[in-house]
Amino acid sequence: MSEAPATDSPTKLIHDVQKDVKMTRWQYHRELTRRGGASTGTRRELATAALRYYDVLRPLQGKPVVDEEDYPDMRPITSRLGHEVRVTVPSQRLGVDETTTTVPAIDELNPEYVIQVINELDEVAVTLGFGPSTADGVHNDEATHDDLEALLTARGQSDAVEHLPGE
């Protein structure tokens, strides 16, 4: 008798992170379509999601189906961690147009670059067998008259088309 997978199994962990990444990506796209731009918090969460995704897939580097070069370069993200940069922002003070403030360096990342990294990690996950499965969820067990006619014609059984029930 087979047992259910453990709740802390690597497969479950990868699927949980994939779900979180997908939800963050959807949040980013939702903000783009509703507000014309994503919030700083969502852009930061997008970078964090990419790091989590990489962290769960990284131990599988060197497996027979993937090599190190299959993984995206994470240095543009990781090199900004723990660092801050000074940026110019509109001033709240009367008579002063701009001021400078310090923000996390991760804010400099183009979120479209992060989306590209996530997409590349999706490709690695699929190669490793962690992609979505359509075998279980897609049911197409009903053929139309046109489907049967096309199948019989393709098989060189044109005479059988005349004997199809219906139509």
pLDDT for 48-73, tens place per residue? 999 999 999 998 887 788 888 899 99
**Residues 61 and 119 reside in one and the same domain:** yes
104 DSSP β-pair partners: 84
Q: State the Cα–Cα distance between residues 156 and 14, nearest whole angstrom.
A: 47
Question: In whole angstroms, what separates CA 36 from the centre of its chain?
Answer: 21
User: What is the reported pLDDT for 2?
Assistant: 44
56-74 burial: b if 16+ Cβ within 10 Å, else e: bbeebeeeeebeeebbbeb
Q: State the Cα–Cα distance between residues 72 and 117, nearest whole angstrom.
A: 6
Q: State the Cα–Cα distance between residues 67 and 51, nearest whole angstrom.
A: 18
Asked, for residue 50, whether it belongs to a domain, the answer is yes
**Residues 28 and 110 reside in one and the same domain:** yes
Instruction: Name the residue range of residue 158's domain.
Output: 142-167
Q: State the Cα–Cα distance between residues 99 and 92, nearest whole angstrom.
A: 9
pTM of the model: 0.71
**Residues 124 and 147 reside in one and the same domain:** no
**Residues 22 and 101 reside in one and the same domain:** yes
**Residues 74 and 99 reside in one and the same domain:** yes
Asked, for residue 95, whether it belongs to a domain, the answer is yes
- Report the number of distinct structural domains present in the chain: 2
**Residues 29 and 110 reside in one and the same domain:** yes
Asked, for residue 80, whether it belongs to a domain, the answer is yes
Please check whether residue 55 is in contact with residue 74, taking contact to mean a CB–CB distance below 8 angstroms. Answer: no
**Residues 122 and 158 reside in one and the same domain:** no
